[in-house]
Structure 1
Amino acid sequence: MKILFLLPLLAACVTGPAPVPSDDGCGAAGYAGLLGQNIAAVTLPADLNHRVIGPNQMVTMDYVESRVNFETDIVGTIMRVTCG
C-alpha cells in the first residue's frame, strides 16, 4: 500500500532531456546551401564558431547557441547543419 502512495511522487522526480531551442541563433540556415558538398572543399569564415562532426564521433553535449555544427558522412559530405 505504501508503494502505491510513493509512485506519484517518484514520477514527479523524473525529468526528460533538456529542450534544445528551435530558433536559428547561429545562422545555420545560411549554410544550408553547403549540404551535399564535401567539408574539405568549402571555405568558412575564419571567425565562425563551428565544429565538424563526423559519423560516430563523440562530441560534448553542451549547447552553444552561436556555434554552427556541420555533420558529415564518412567521406566528409555535409549532411546536416544545425546550431549548438
Structure 2
Amino acid sequence: MKRIPFVAALAAPLALAACASQPEEPTQADADPCGAARYAHLVGQVSPTISVPEGQAYRIVRDGQPMTLELLQERLTFMFDRKGTLMSVSCN
C-alpha cells in the first residue's frame, strides 16, 4: 500500500514537466520556406508574368499533367488550369 503514494508522488512532477515544455510555433519562414506568399496576388490571373529569383527552384504544372510527388519545401510549384489561369502557388 505504501508504494502507490510513492509512485504517484514521483509521477506528478514528471507530468507537470511534460506540460510545461510546449512545442514552438512555426515561424513565418517555416510556414513559407520557398516564398510562395510573394506570388499569392497572381492567383486567378490568366497567363501571369512570373519572375522567379535566380537560383530558386520552381516548376510549372498544368491541370491533368503528371508530376512527381517528392516533397521539396524549397521549391515553388505554380499550378495552372487548362485555360492558363494560375490556380495556386505552393512550396513543394
TM-score range, shorter chain: 0.5 to 0.7
What are the ranges of 5 or more consecutive residues in structure 2 without an aligned counterpart? 1-29
Match of 2:53 in 1: 45
SS of equivalent residue, structure 1 residue 31: helix
Match of 1:70 among 69, 78, 87: 78
Over alpha carbons, which structure has the higher Rg? Answer: 2
> For each residue in 1:38-82, what CA deviation from the matched residue of structure 2 results, as whole angstroms up to 9, or x when unmatched?
346333334321101101111111001100110001021111011
- Matched pairs, number: 63
The 8 Å contact of residues 42 and 48 in structure 2, kept in 1 or not, is answered as no
What are the ranges of 5 or more consecutive residues in structure 1 without an aligned counterpart? 1-21
Matched, 1:23 2:27: no
Q: What TM-score results when the alignment is normalised by the length of structure 2?
A: 0.59
Higher helix fraction: Structure 1 or Structure 2? 2
> 2 CA distance for matches of 1:39 and 1:46?
21
Structure with bigger RCO (C-alpha 8 Å, 6+ apart) = 1
The 8 Å contact of residues 76 and 90 in structure 2, kept in 1 or not, is answered as yes
SS of equivalent residue, structure 1 residue 30: helix
> 1 CA distance for matches of 2:80 and 2:68?
16
Q: Please give the root-mean-square deviation of Cα atoms over the aligned residues, in Å.
A: 1.9
> 2 CA distance for matches of 1:67 and 1:35?
17
